[in-house]
Amino acid sequence: MTLTYSIHQVAPYINWIYFFHAWGFQPRFAAIADIHGCDVCRASWLTTFEEADRPKASEAMQLLKEANRMLNLLDEDFNVKTTFRLCKANADGDNILLDGTVLPLLRQQTQRHADDPFLCLSDFVRPLSSGITDTVGVFASTVDADLERIYEQDPYKHLLVQTLADRLAEAATEKMHQYVRKEVWGYAKEESLTMKELLAENFQGIRPAVGYPSLPDQSINFILNDLLDMQQIGITLTENGAMHPHASVSGLMLAHPSARYFAIGKIGEDQLKDYAGRRGMPVETMKKFLAGNL
């Protein structure tokens, strides 16, 4: 299913912490996004900072004002698109079978604590041996490609649009995932979360994205593309599996109540060879995709 959102529809789902992080602000300054827009409220918020930090807080305030102004301008000409598919799924060892397509995954090989399990995302999907079919979602979201090219002659505005574009793709994913949980998949029909709770991911299930710690292999995008046909929302893949437009995100949706995020971390030569075999790629090619995990 493909969904097209206007910018004003997804703007409430923006996680401003990551936007401000991209501009070098600590999370405490991102709290300005939670403050009512009246002058009295803003002035009161400034007084919560020590005097030495108030100039930085004022910068954050001004940046948010300019970001919201830019969002209003972008809303006139651009949309955000997302596509998803709910697949019949089962775990087969460290693979997930998605409508018959094999998605190889990695398992942790190092522990932070002695009693920690060695996790793999397939652990949160019913095993094939159970004889019971499970469901796993796959998704991709992106902004209009033209959005990333505007204001190229104005470095500040161009950077502002780029950092907003990243947040808009993530925000569309957040809105889509909420819709999937409550209506399409329907495993959380009674979910009732505030926006703050939603952005803190206080919902059932997880949404691991390609390139992130639990799903680090960017080449997985080729498998997801076979399932989703990302080009229908304007996403193309480079020969290395990177997505264009840059402000795009893809990944999985898992519903298991115990599902949680984790980092694969460093893997050994044995798992590298095993994974390369399951991916059907030469070990040397796989090393390029997993350089950060070797």
**Strand extents, DSSP E, the chain:** 2-6, 79-92, 95-98, 101-104, 134-143, 236-237, 243-244, 248-253
Last residue of a domain, one of 48, 74, 100: 74
Residue numbers of the domain that contains 8? 2-74
Task: Give φ, ψ of 65 to 5 degrees.
Answer: -60, -45
Query: Do residues 95 and 231 both lie within one domain?
Result: yes
CA distance 2 to 232: 8
Reported for 176-179, long-range contacts at CB under 8 A and 24+ positions apart, including other chains, are: 176/3, 176/82, 176/84, 176/139, 176/141, 177/139, 177/207, 177/253, 178/203, 179/3
Query: Do residues 58 and 147 both lie within one domain?
Result: no
Q: Tell me the per-residue pLDDT of 167-205, one tens digit each, with 9 for 90 and over.
A: 999 999 999 999 999 999 999 999 999 999 999 999 999
Query: Do residues 288 and 265 both lie within one domain?
Result: yes
Last residue of a domain, one of 22, 56, 74: 74
Query: Do residues 50 and 115 both lie within one domain?
Result: no
Query: Do residues 11 and 34 both lie within one domain?
Result: yes
Query: Do residues 15 and 131 both lie within one domain?
Result: no
Query: Do residues 38 and 112 both lie within one domain?
Result: no
Count structural domains, the chain.
Answer: 2
User: In this structure, what CATH number is given to the domain that contains residue 226?
Assistant: 3.10.196.10
Query: Do residues 123 and 7 both lie within one domain?
Result: no
Query: Do residues 52 and 31 both lie within one domain?
Result: yes
Last residue of a domain, one of 51, 74, 97: 74
SS3 18: helix
Query: Do residues 199 and 284 both lie within one domain?
Result: yes
Is the N-terminal amide bond of 27 cis, ω within 30° of 0?
no
> Quick one: angle between helices 54-74 and 39-46, nearest 10?
140
pTM of the model: 0.92
- Going residue by residue through the chain, which has 294 residues, state the pLDDT in tens, using 9 for 90 and above: 999 999 999 999 999 999 999 999 999 989 999 887 777 888 888 888 888 889 999 999 999 999 999 999 999 999 999 999 999 999 999 999 999 999 999 999 877 777 888 899 999 999 999 999 999 999 999 999 999 899 999 999 999 999 999 999 999 999 999 999 999 999 999 999 999 999 999 999 999 999 999 999 999 999 999 999 999 999 999 999 999 999 999 999 999 999 999 999 999 999 999 999 999 999 999 999 999 999
Query: Do residues 260 and 204 both lie within one domain?
Result: yes
Query: Do residues 154 and 10 both lie within one domain?
Result: no
188 exposure class (CB count in 10 Å sphere: 0-12, 13-18, 19+): middle
